[in-house]
Amino acid sequence: MDPPPVPGSSFSELPSSQTSIPSRSQSFSQKSDDSQTAAEFIDSQLQLEADAREALPYKFENCTKTIGKLRQVLFSCLTCNPPPSNPSDPYTPAGVCYSCSIQCHGEHTLVELFNKRNFVCDCGTTRLPATSPCAIRLNPETNTKGGVHSEEPAPDNKYNHNFRNSFCGCECDYDPHQQKGTMFQCLGLGTAETGGCGEDWWHPGCVVGLGPDWFETASQKNDVKKTQHTGLLTSITEVAENVVDEANAEAAPEVMEEDEDDNPPLPPGFPHEDDFEGFICYKCVDANPWIKRYGGGPGFLAPVFKRSAAPSPERGLLAMTQEVIASHLAPPKKRKAEDDEESVASDRSKRVKSDLPTEASAPEPANATTALPTKTLLVTKAAENAACKLETLPPTPEGQMSLFFKADFRDHLCKCPDCFPLLKPHDQLIEEEINYEPTLSGSEEEAGGSTVGSGSIYERGESALKNVDRVRAIEGVMAFQQLKDKLKPLFQQFAGTGKAISAEDIKAHFAKMRGDDEAIKAAGEDAKTSKKDEDQRREQGGY
C-alpha cells in the first residue's frame, strides 16, 4: 500500500496510484486518513486563508507608482533582471513594490529588499523588459487595466548591490534557508554613489571586521591553544576563537542540545541587541565624518571600531576582549580587587571634584536679589537653544568605526546654525521615518466589510449575493433550494441503512439528475466493480 501523501504537496506531484479515483471503500465519507467531514473541510479552508493572510497580510490591488516617492518594502526580480556573472559588467537594477511583486512577478525569483526610502516602483518602466508589463496599473493608451510597459522610471531612485541579491560589506548572496544569525540594516546616511551603503544589511561580524562566518571558523579550530596570562594576543581573530572555546566549554550540554540552529553569538565588540535602536555603518560614517563627533555622547553608544582600522581603536578593542578572556580564565585576586577599589575611589573623588562649582559659577546666596529682567531671560533662553552641543561632547574618535544609537538619539543632535546644514540633507536624522504599508487584507476599513475578494469563502458568498440584482439573487436561492431537494432523497437513503456514501454513488446520482445515460452506465459499472469492497465499508458511527 502506498504511503499517504506528504502534507503540503501538490496533487500533481503524487504518484499515479494516489491520483486515481478512490475506491468505494476509500470514499470521502469514511473515517480514513484522507477523508474529512464538511465541517473539517470548512475549517481547513479557513485555516488556509488565515495562513495566506499571514504570508501576504496586505492587499495587492494597487501599484504604488502613482503615489510617488515612499519608504516602502521593495523586491528585486532576478527573473526579469538577472545579474551578470561578472559583477563588473553593466547591470540595470530595478525594484518593484509589494503589489507588483505578487500580481506581476508572482511566479518569478524575487529578492526581498525590505524598506528603502524615497523609492518609486519600477514595474512597467524601461528598467524591466517589455515582456513583463505591469498588470495592475491603468494603461493610458487603452484605458484598461494592465499591459503597462516602457514608461520612464523615476530619476531619483537610488540603487545598491542589494538589487543583485548581494548584501553586507562582504557582498555575499543572501539565502534565507542557509543564512544564520541576525543581520542589521544601516540607517543609510550615504548612497552607493556618495560612498555610503544605501541602507545595506550587515552581518555583526563584518561590522567589527571579523567576517560573516567568524563564529563557525573559530569553532572549527579546536586545536587553538589557550591564551596564557603572560602572553600577548596577536590578533582579534584569536581573541574571538578563544571566546568561542570558553563559551563552548562552560555551556551546559543540555542547553547546547536544545536547538542546534540557534543563532551564533554576537562578536566581541558588538553591542547587545537590546542596547541600541539602530546603527550607522562605517561606510556611511566615512562618507559623513562629522557624525563621528557624536560617538560615545548622549543618545549614542561607544564607537564600534572595525578591525584593521587605526591602531588606537584596535588596541582598545583588543584590550576589551582581553578582559573578556581574563574574566573566563583567571579568577580575580584579592590584590587586584583592592587595586580596583582604590581606582574606583580615586575616580569617584575626581568626579566629585570636577562636579564642584568653581568660584565663577558658584551659586549665589539665597538672599540675593539680582533678578534678571524678563527680556534678558528670553534672550538667555534663545542663546541656550542656539548654543552648539558639540562643545559638550567628548573628543572626536579616530579610525574607521560604526555608530550605534538609541531611540532618542535625534533629541541629542545639534541643530545650531552651524550644525543644522549637516543634518538637513538627511531627513532620517531630523525626524523618524514612516514606512508605507498597503491596506490589510480583509480589514474592517472596507465599507461594511462587503467587498468581494476579502474575508472567508462564506463571507465572500454572502457579499456576492448582496451585490447581484434582486431577480438573479432570487433565482440563485431557488436553484440552491431545488438542488437541496434533489439531494435529500440520496442522503435519506443512506442515513436509513447506516452505510457510507461513496464517490460512485454521488456521481451516479448526479448523472441521473442530468439524464446522462453514458454517465449512468459508467457509474453502474464502477459500482459493480467495487461491490466486493462493500463489506469492508464501515458505518458512519463505527468510530
Convert the pLDDT of each residue in 400-437 to its tens digit: 999 999 999 999 999 999 999 999 999 999 999 999 99
pLDDT tens profile 34-65 = 555 667 777 887 888 777 777 778 888 899 99
Q: What phi and psi, each to the nearest 5 degrees, are found at residue 401?
A: -145, 160
228 and 189 together in one domain: yes
- 45 within some domain: no
- 50 within some domain: no
The pLDDT-based confidence of 264 (bands split at 50, 70, 90) is confident
- 362 within some domain: no
Residue ranges making up the domain that contains 505: 501-531
- 55 within some domain: no
- 238 within some domain: yes
110 and 237 together in one domain: no
- 41 within some domain: no
143 and 212 together in one domain: no
CB atoms within 10 A of CB 522: 15
490 and 505 together in one domain: no
195 and 276 together in one domain: yes
> Which residue, among 104, 84, 99, has the nearest Cα to 163 in the 3D structure?
84
Report the run of H or E that residue 167 belongs to, with start and end.
Answer: strand 166-167
CB atoms within 10 A of CB 149: 16
Report the run of H or E that residue 265 belongs to, with start and end.
Answer: none
Q: Which amino acid is at 56?
A: L
| Integer-rounded Cα radius of gyration of the chain | 35
- 390 within some domain: no
Q: What is the pTM of this model?
A: 0.61
Last residue of a domain, one of 106, 134, 164: 164
Cell match 538637513: residue?
Answer: 424
Predicted confidence at residue 504, as pLDDT, reads 77
> Which residue, among 83, 103, 63, has the nearest Cα to 159 in the 3D structure?
83
Report the range of poorest mean pLDDT among 183-192, 351-360, 386-395, 461-470: 351-360
Please give the mean pLDDT across all residues of the chain. 73
Predicted confidence at residue 445, as pLDDT, reads 47
- 170 within some domain: no
Predicted confidence at residue 38, as pLDDT, reads 66
141 and 288 together in one domain: no
422 and 286 together in one domain: yes
- Mean pLDDT throughout 476-484? 80
511 and 410 together in one domain: no
**Dist CA 385 CA 400 (whole Å):** 32
pLDDT tens profile 179-196 = 888 999 999 999 999 999
DSSP state of 384: H
480 and 507 together in one domain: no
**Dist CA 221 CA 239 (whole Å):** 12
**Number of folded domains in the chain?**
4
188 and 205 together in one domain: yes
Q: How would you classify the pairing of strands 166-167 and 172-173?
A: antiparallel
Quote helix, strand, coil % in the chain, to nearest 5: 45, 10, 50
126 and 91 together in one domain: yes
225 and 248 together in one domain: yes
